[in-house]
Amino acid sequence: MGEDERAPIFQERPTARIAPEGWPFIAAAAALAAAAFGFGSIPSAAVLGAVTLFVVAFFRNPARDLPGDENTVVAPADGRVLAVGAIEDERGRKGLRIAIFLSVFDVHVNRAPLAGRVVSLERGGARFLAAWNPRGERENVRLAMELELADGRRIVVTQITGLIARRIVCHAKVGEWLARGVRYGLIRFGSRTDVLLPPGSVATVKVGDRVRGGASILARLGAPE
């Protein structure tokens, strides 16, 4: 199914330089810093000013140049590659899984690794273990978005919370068509993003590599079976 058939086109967001979800946190930190300064507590004001700058940096949302063609899988997030390999998930889906760990210093806006129609959004988990903990991928609060590609194959992009993260934001809705590289959500304050690709996909990254969402190539799709 192509993007021009039936499916409404998802309108990319966030697109501003600072993700809108960050402004309440930025405003609160800035207000506390200003109040501390007003009361003459310069050390406290300096600390709170640094916190404000950190929060601004956390919610930064840079534009990226998209590489490759429609079979090029781009990173859905900034961070360090945590795992690369063939797996079978809890629903019996097999494929190439690439996991990315996002520290609190990474950009946390998520992007679609390939173009496709959203066929399901499945929330699960209840814990907030460290994102690099193998149990975290199964037990942490998460949101799995399944996309159907133009050739009918499917991929899964999973946003997973970590020790600090407490909220997953996903603007996409079931039935919408996401363009490759489009910004569709974020995870607040430290997390992990996994991609499950169809069998036959070939990874172009290895564990430990640093990647940039929408700009780094993770893998190439193989020919449909």
Identify the residue whose tokens are 């700009």.
Answer: 215
Q: Are 140 and 128 in contact (CB under 8 A)?
A: yes
In this predicted structure, the answer to whether residue 2 has a pLDDT above a threshold of 80 is: no
**Which of 82, 24, 77 lies closest to 184, judged by CA?**
77
Confidence at residue 94, expressed as pLDDT on a 0 to 100 scale: 87
Q: Express as a percent the part of the chain with pLDDT over 70.
A: 95
Torsional sign, CA 146, 123, 159, 136: negative
Report pLDDT digits (tens) over 3-30. Answer: 545 679 999 988 999 999 899 999 999 9
Find the mean pLDDT for residues 179-207: 93
Confidence at residue 88, expressed as pLDDT on a 0 to 100 scale: 82
Which run of H or E residues covers position 14? Answer: none
Confidence at residue 5, expressed as pLDDT on a 0 to 100 scale: 59
In this predicted structure, the answer to whether residue 203 has a pLDDT above a threshold of 60 is: yes
Assigned CATH topology for domain 72-220: Glucose Permease (Domain IIA) (2.70.70)
User: What's the mean per-residue pLDDT of the chain?
Assistant: 90
Helix/strand/coil (H, E, C) string of 132-192? Answer: CCCCHHHHECEEEEEEECCCCCEEEEEEEECCCCCCEEECCCCCCEECCCCEEEEECCCEE
Helix (H, G, I), strand (E, B) or coil at 57: helix
Report pLDDT digits (tens) over 126-170. Answer: 777 776 777 777 778 899 999 999 999 999 999 998 776 668 999
Confidence at residue 23, expressed as pLDDT on a 0 to 100 scale: 94
What pTM, to 2 d.p., does this model score? 0.89
Distance in angstroms (rounded) separating the CA atoms of residues 37 and 39: 5
Report the catalytic residues. 191
Identify the residue whose tokens are 């797996």.
Answer: 87
Report pLDDT digits (tens) over 45-94. Answer: 999 999 999 999 999 999 999 999 999 999 999 999 999 999 887 777 88
Confidence at residue 188, expressed as pLDDT on a 0 to 100 scale: 79
Report pLDDT digits (tens) over 98-135. Answer: 999 998 899 999 999 999 999 999 998 877 777 677 77
